[in-house]
């Protein structure tokens, strides 16, 4: 009962501990600008990604973290976000775009040593072959620096495809490589 209640009240909580299973993990190598989870089975009601991200590159703090499904690079995504940068709250929406934003990824600048971006993504009804796919994202990057580059990031995304999602691919806007501090865990939630 407690878990059912908390599942109703909060983001990213499985309704029952027995219905939440680990599917796969992926770790950055430092030499690839993408990180993927593939061969996702269609046996769950929803998916949840819990991840830490870190990119290569120095001399700047952040880059945009992007998500695509089934290797689709077409303009088949739409997105809305609500962001807080430590100074103001802003909202933005984009239609017919080529990826879904997942917030900001921290670079490997010396000022950000030992720090990572954290992300929770919920993908509902991902195995449907009749409906578009809706995604919820909650992420944040914090650098202990008074700079508006760092964000709390809430977003929704839509992939306009009726194909079942069988793979997820993350990349960055500037095609930075993912370091070994990037650890993506994919979970399945049973219906």
Site of interaction with another protein (CB under 8 A): 2-3, 6, 9-14, 17-18, 20-25, 50, 52, 82-89, 114-118, 120, 138-146, 150-152, 154, 181, 183, 185, 187
Q: How far is the CB of 117 from another protein (least distance, A)?
A: 7
Residue number, 125 or 142, with CB nearest to another protein:
142
Residue number, 92 or 175, with CB nearest to another protein:
92
**C-alpha span between 98 and 62 (Å, rounded):** 20
Residue number, 1 or 129, with CB nearest to another protein:
1
Q: How far is the CB of 94 from another protein (least distance, A)?
A: 19
Residue number, 72 or 181, with CB nearest to another protein:
181
Q: How far is the CB of 113 from another protein (least distance, A)?
A: 8
């Amino acid at each position: 009962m407690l878990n059912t209640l908390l599942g109703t009240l909060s983001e990213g909580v499985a309704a029952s501990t027995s219905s939440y299973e680990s599917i796969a993990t992926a770790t950055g190598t430092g030499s690839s600008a993408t990180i993927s989870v593939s061969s996702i089975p269609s046996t769950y009601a929803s998916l949840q990604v819990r991840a830490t991200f870190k990119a290569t590159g120095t001399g700047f703090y952040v880059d945009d973290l992007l998500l695509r499904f089934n290797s689709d690079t077409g303009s088949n995504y739409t997105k809305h976000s609500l962001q807080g940068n430590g100074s103001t709250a802003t909202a933005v929406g984009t239609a017919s775009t080529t990826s879904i934003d997942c917030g900001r990824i921290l670079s490997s600048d010396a000022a950000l040593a030992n720090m990572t971006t954290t992300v929770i993504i919920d993908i509902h009804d991902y195995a449907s072959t009749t409906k578009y796919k809706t995604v919820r994202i909650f992420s944040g990057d914090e650098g202990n620096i008074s700079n508006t580059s760092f964000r709390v990031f809430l977003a929704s995304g839509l992939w306009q495809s009726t194909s079942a999602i069988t793979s997820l691919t993350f990349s960055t806007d500037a095609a930075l490589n993912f370091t070994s501090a990037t650890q993506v865990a994919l979970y399945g939630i049973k219906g």
